[in-house]
């Protein structure tokens, strides 16, 4: 089975919205899927990885490109889905 790669655009959103939107998106994904979150809030570089550590997701990459930052994560076993 091949993992899916998804992208979430949370540009122009400030804390805590990038983390909340990331959490909501992860709930719709399968274990092993990857999510690339693109932000303009530099705080997301620490906030999203911290959320991942707490919730069992793996951060694959973080970085900056111009005025944007990004976090790439792999969804862990418990994606927080309500079903």
Backbone angles phi, psi at 73, to 5 degrees: -130, 155
Marked catalytic residue, from 15, 34, 39, 52: 15
Helix (H) or strand (E) holding 23: helix 17-26
Q: For this structure, is 15 an active site residue?
A: yes
- Catalytic amino acids? 15
């Amino acid at each position: 089975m091949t993992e899916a790669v998804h992208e979430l655009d949370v540009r122009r959103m400030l804390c805590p919205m990038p983390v909340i939107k990331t959490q909501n998106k992860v709930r719709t994904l399968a274990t092993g899927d990857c999510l690339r979150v693109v932000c303009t809030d530099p705080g997301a570089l620490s906030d999203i990885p911290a959320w991942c550590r707490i919730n069992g997701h793996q951060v694959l990459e973080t970085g900056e490109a111009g005025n944007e930052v990004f976090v790439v994560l792999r969804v862990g076993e418990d994606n927080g889905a309500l079903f």
